[in-house]
Structure 1
């Protein structure tokens, strides 16, 4: 039985929220400092990104239902704005990375450090592209040939 993309996205949001609430419960109930630290680390490293990406998928499913109109409902509009903010934060983090690493790469002597800085520069450029894709796909209407394959 195949469920709709909206139902799948809602289920993923609920599971992501359950992960966050479960790790928060462990952090508050546990008396062991290492269990608290581990649960906070899991919440920050896994829970928050899973919830954020699940909410972006839900927004994409809602936009797909409304024909690409991100102003169809308040929930669609809010989730579209969340996706755009996520893309902008990706681009800002990458730009800051480029701001720090390009001058260091240009003046560093040949060796492993220079190679590592070059890798960081390439990753930052790719991260700018990913952030731009998130912002663009938040507001762009789906093409006619893409709507059947969407979500």
Structure 2
């Protein structure tokens, strides 16, 4: 709820302020902090609602919608990673050895990890929890 309050407060600042630098700073704060935290909070809410309904993502319309939102977030993660791999793998093979090659290898490794994270978000949006898996304290 704090992130919703942050977004609303910054929206009010953007609407009533006349100073362009304050408006720009507010937009940057909303883009960098507000939207990702709100999205991750909604994903946690969807997980809590699915856990209450025994892992059924079709239990209510809100759990259905939040499961789809989580899957879309995972797909966006995988698409961003695929674009990063598409850009950096050819550059890594073409670059000479040195710091630039090491930096490209770090980007490639991070993109592969982002693919794994995106797949996990998509999988966990629709998979039922295992019987031995306890979700107490996760939310």
TM over 0.5: yes
Question: 1:64 touches 1:147 (CA, 8 Å); kept in 2?
Answer: no
Q: Where does residue 125 of structure 1 map in the other structure?
A: 112
Q: Where does residue 71 of structure 2 map in the other structure?
A: 84
Unaligned runs of 5+ in 2: none
Q: Where does residue 94 of structure 1 map in the other structure?
A: 81
CA separation of 1:146/1:130 partners in 2, compared to 1, >3 Å: closer, same or farther?
same
The CA deviation at 1:23 is: 1.0
1:104 has 2:91 as partner: yes
Question: 2: CA distance between counterparts of 1:41 and 1:101?
Answer: 27
- Structure 1's consecutive aligned runs of 4 or more residues displaced over 6 angstroms after TM superposition are none
Q: Where does residue 34 of structure 2 map in the other structure?
A: 47
**Cα RMSD between the aligned structures?**
1.0
Q: Where does residue 27 of structure 1 map in the other structure?
A: 14
Q: Where does residue 8 of structure 1 map in the other structure?
A: none
User: Aligned pairs, how many?
Assistant: 138
Question: 2:70 touches 2:122 (CA, 8 Å); kept in 1?
Answer: yes
Q: Where does residue 47 of structure 2 map in the other structure?
A: 60
Q: Normalized against structure 2, the TM-score is what?
A: 0.95
1:146 has 2:133 as partner: yes
Question: 1: CA distance between counterparts of 2:27 and 2:135?
Answer: 40
Question: 2: CA distance between counterparts of 1:58 and 1:87?
Answer: 16
Question: 2: CA distance between counterparts of 1:15 and 1:80?
Answer: 22
